[in-house]
Amino acid sequence: MRAFVPILIVVAAFAAVPLFVHSNVVLNFLVVTLLIGLAGQGWNILGGYGGQYSFGQAAFFGTGAYATAILQVHYGVNAWIGFAAGIAAGAAVGAIIGALAFRAGLRSSYFALVTLAFAEVLRIVASVTPITGAGVGLLVRLDLRAQAFQFQSRAIFYLVILGFVAVSLVIAQLLERSRFGAWLIAVRENEDAAMALGVDAFAVKLAAMVVSAAITAAAGCFYVQYFLFVDSGIAYGTWISIEALLTPIIGGVGTVFGALAGALVVKFLGEGIKLVTGDVPGLDLMIYGAVLVLVIRFAPRGLVGAFADMRAHLARRAKLRAPIGEVARG
Amino acid sequence: MAEPLLSVEGVSRRFGGLLAVNAASLSAEAGRITALIGPNGAGKTTLFSLISGFLKPSAGKVRYASDDITGEPPHRLARRGIARTFQIVQPFAGLSVRENILVGAHLRHPARAAALELAERVGHDVGLGDMLDRPAHALTVAGRKRLELARALATEPQLLLLDEVLAGLNPSEIRDILPVISELSARGIAVLMIEHVMQAVMSLAGHVFVLAEGRIIAQGSPPQVVADPIVVEAYLGHGAAAKMRSAHVH
Amino acid sequence: MLSPIILLTAVVNGLMTGAVYALVALGLTLIYGVLHIINFAHGALLSAALFAAFFAFQKFGLDPYLAAFVIAPAFFALGYGLQRFVIGPASHGDDRNMLLVTLGLAVLIENALLYAFHADTRTVDLTYGFKSVDLGFTFIALPRLISFASVFVVALALWLVMALTDTGKAIRAVAKEKLGAQLSGIDVAHIYAMTFGLGTACVAIAACLLIPTYYANPRAGNAFVLVAFTIVVLGGMGSVPGALVGGFVIGIVESLAGFYFGESLGQVGIFLIFIVVLLVRPRGLFGASA
C-alpha cells in the first residue's frame, strides 16, 4: 500500500493546519479552496482520466445542493441524511445524462455541448419553480449542532471537507491501480482500440460519470451546509462548471493531486487579485479565463504535467552532456 | 475436416448506394493461417470490421464456434475470444508499451498483478521486451505493429484478425515478425490475415480467399490462387491473364 | 383560438428575429465547417460586438447600420488574430484543447466586459427606431425590417466570396480536404484564421443589426448564441443552408412558443430541442455525420 503514502502525507499536512492557524478568514479561504478542489476532482474522474470533457458539472453540484437544502427546509429531514440523499441525487442525474449522451455516442464537443445544455436547463427551471425558492433561493435555518451538520468552529468544517477531499484522492489512486482505471484511460486514449480489447466503453464511461457526479454533488451539499444559502445561480451557474474544470486543467488532468493543486493555485490567484483590486465583479473569472487559455497554450498537461516534463527534459539534457559511451549504456 | 472456428456466410454491407461487401463467404480454422487478399479498395478492411463488430452487416451471418455473432459489438466479441489489429495502428499514445499491453491483459485478469505478469510475457513474446517502459509514441512503425499484435494477444484470443500487420515494414522487419505470426497458429490460434505482402501469404497461409469489388472471387491454397486467371485479372486488369498466357507461348 | 392575424404577426416577427439568428448561426457553422471546432466564444464575441455598436452610437453618434462598416472589419481582424495567435497554436493537435481554449476565451471576454462596463443593460434609441412599416395586416418596426433585408445581403456577399474569390475557394478546399489543400500550397493556418475572422465578422454585423431593438450587456450574447447553437445543430454543423433555414424556423418557433408559454419556458423549450437533436440526430437536418 505504498502508493497511498503520498496521500497520507498530504492529508496529514493539511489536517495539521488548524493547529497553527486560527484566523477565520484564512480558514474560510481554505475551506472554499478544498470545496473547489473536491468539485474539481469530480470533473477529473470523467474528464482527466476518461477524456470526456463535461462543461456542465454545475448540474451535479446544484442537484446535490438543492436536494439537501430542499429536504431540510421543506421536509425537515436530518442534515446528514440530506447530505447522503444529495450525493445520491447528483449521482442519479449523472447516470441519466451519461446514459443519454453516451448511448447517443456523443463525443468531444458534442458531449461538452450537451452537458452545458443540461446544466442550463436545470438552472432556468430552478430559477422559476417554487420548491427551489425560484428567484429568491433557499435559506437553511442556522442550527449550530453536529446533528444538523453545522459547526460553531470553522476548523471543524475545514476538517470535514478535508475528509471528503481525502476520500476523493483515495478514489483517484484506487482508480489508477485498478482494471476499471486502465479501461477508462484506454477509452480516453482511443475508444475504438479499447473496444477491440474487450472494454465496454459505454459502461465504463457511464460508471465514471456517476462517480464524477457523486463527488461533485458532495461538494454541492457541503456548500449548502457551510453557507446555508443556495439559489439557481449558485447551484447551477456556470461559475462552478468553469472552476471544476479549471482546477484539474491547471493542476494536471488525470492525476491524483492535480485538482487539489489547481484549486490552491486558482484560489490563491483569486485572493491575490482581490487584495490588489478589491472585490470587483468579473475580474476573478476574467483572470481564470485568461489562465485557462494560457495553460492550454503553454502547459497543456497542467502543473503536474509540466513538472514531469521538466524533470524528463533535465534528465535528457544531463544524458546529452555525458560522454558518448555512457549515453549508449544509459 | 475440422469445423471452422469462424464462418462468414453471405455477408453484405451497403453504404448508401455503394455495395462495399457483396455476399462474401469465408472461413477460418483453429491452428491455421488463412489469408484474405485482393486489390486495393476491394473491401477487405470493411469485411474485417463486419466480422469484428465495428460495422453491422446489411445481410448475411457471421458464426463463431457455432454461435451466431452477427452484429455483436466489439467488446463482446473480444470476450468470446476474437481479437483484431488495425490497419492504421492505434496505440494508446500517452501510455507506456507495458501499460498498452496491460489493457488487453486485463480482459481475462481483473487483478493488476496477474495482468502485469501476462503483459510482460506477451511483450517478450513479440520481441518488445526491452521497450516495455518506453512510451508507445516513441516506437518505430515496426515496434508499433508489434505492440498492436501484443495488445491483441494479451486478450488470449482464439481467433486473431490481422489487418495488414506487415504494411510499412522493411524486408528485414518482415523477416523478423513472420516467425512470431506462424508461432501463433502452432499454439492453436486461428489467424485470419489481410495481406498485400505476397511473400508472407505464400509462406504462411494454408488457405487463401480473394476479395475483389466486394465479392469473393476465388479461394484455395496459395499456389492455386496465384495461378488462377480470375485472380490475375482482378489485380492486373481485364485481359491480363490472356496476355500473360500469350506472352508465355512466345 | 388565436386569430389568424395575430398568428401571422407572430410568424412575421419570428422571421425578423430568425434572420438575425440565422446570421449568428452562419458564423458558427462556417467556423465549424472549416475548422471543425465549436466556437464556445461566439456568444462572448457577440456581447463584445453589441458593446462596440453601443459605444459607436453613444460616443461617436454613429448609426449602427453605418457602424457595421467599421465594426465588422475590426472584429474580422480580432477573429483572425484570435485564431492565428491564440486558438490555433493552443490546439497541440487535440480537439479537446481547442474546446477548452474557446471556453477560456468566452469566460475571459465575458468577464472583461463585466469588469469594464458592469452588468447594467445599455440600449440605443434611434430617431427612426419607432417608425414602423405597414404590411397591411400588421406593423413591423423599421429597424427589424432593415435587419431582415441586411441578412440576405450579407448571406449573398458571403456566398459570392466563397464562390468567386481565391480565398473563398481556398476555404472550401480546406473544409473538404485539409491535407490535400496543404499539399497544394494553401497556408492552412491563414485560411483557418480567415474563416474565424469571417465568422466573427458575421457576429459583429448581427450585433449592429440587433442593437436598435435589443440591448448590450455582458451576458446578452450568450442568450442569443445558445439559440444559434441549437440552430446549427438542428440545421447541421457546417451546413450554410441549414443555418439559414434553421434560423428562420427557430425564430418562428420561438415567437409562437413565447406567445403560448411565456419567456422563460420558451428558453427551456429551445434548450430541450437542442438536447433532443443532439441525442437523436446530431448531424441535424442537412449536416454531415458528426
- The pLDDT score that the predictor gives to residue A330 is 40
Q: Determine the average pLDDT of the residues in B153-182.
A: 90
Q: Do A293 and C264 touch (CB under 8 A)?
A: no
Going by pLDDT thresholds of 50, 70 and 90, the confidence category of residue C290 is very low
Radius of gyration of chain A (CA): 21
Testing the interface with B: which of A197, A204, A253 to mutate, by most B Cβ within 10 A?
Answer: A197
The range of the structural domain enclosing residue C171 comes to 29-223
Q: Quick check: A289 pLDDT over 70?
A: yes
Q: What is the ipTM of this complex?
A: 0.88
* Partner residue opposite A195 with nearest CB, options B74, B94, B110: B74
Which residues, at least 6 apart from B149, have a Cβ–Cβ distance to it below 8 Å? B85, B126, B162, B165, B177, B180, B181
List chain A domain ranges: 2-260, 301-330
Chains A and B touch (3+ CB pairs under 8 A): yes
Which residue is closest to A108 within chain C, CA to CA? C96
Q: Do chains B and C touch (3 or more CB pairs under 8 A)?
A: no
- Nearest chain B Cα to A176, which residue? B112
Q: Which helix (H) or strand (E) holds A41?
A: helix A24-43
Looking at residue B60, its amino acid is G
Kindly state whether B52 is in contact with chain A, defined as any CB-CB distance less than 8 angstroms.
Answer: yes
Question: What CATH number should be reported for the domain whose range is A2-260?
Answer: 1.10.3470
Determine the average pLDDT of the residues in C107-121.
88
Q: Which chains touch C (3 or more CB pairs under 8 A)?
A: A
- Structural domains of chain C, count: 1
Whether domain B6-81+157-249 has CATH 3.60.15.10: the reply is: no
Least CB–CB distance from C111: residue in A127, A249, A282: A282
Give the pLDDT score at B28: 92
Residue A328 has pLDDT above 70, yes or no: no
pLDDT on residue C2: 63
**A77-81, A192-196, B111-115, C115-119 — which is least confidently predicted?**
C115-119
The pLDDT-based confidence of B98 (bands split at 50, 70, 90) is very high
DSSP conformational letter for A140? P
Point out the residue among C38, C118, C267 whose CB comes nearest to the CB of A113. Answer: C38
C218/A100 CB distance under 8 A: no
- pLDDT on residue C280: 85
Q: Which of residues 237-276 of C touch A (CB under 8 A)?
A: 264-265, 267-268, 271-272, 274-275
Query: How many CB pairs (< 8 A) connect A and C?
Result: 126
CB contact under 8 A, B106 and A189: no
A–B: how many Cβ contacts below 8 A? 72
Question: Residue B8's closest CA among B36, B39, B40?
Answer: B36
Is residue C33, in this structure, part of any structural domain at all? yes
pLDDT greater than 90 at residue C163: no
pTM above 0.90, yes or no: no
Residue A47 carries which DSSP code? I
Asked whether the predicted pLDDT for residue A1 surpasses 80, the reply is: no
Taking the Cβ of residue C93 and every Cβ of chain A, the question of whether any pair is shorter than 8 Å is answered with no
In the predicted model, what is the mean pLDDT of chain A?
89
- Which residue in C94, C105, C115 is closest to A283 by CB distance? C115
- The residue of B75, B88, B109 whose CB has the most chain A CBs within 10 angstroms, and thus the best one to mutate to test that interface, is B75
pLDDT tens-place string over residues C11-32: 888 888 889 889 999 999 899 8
Write down the pLDDT at residue A323. 63
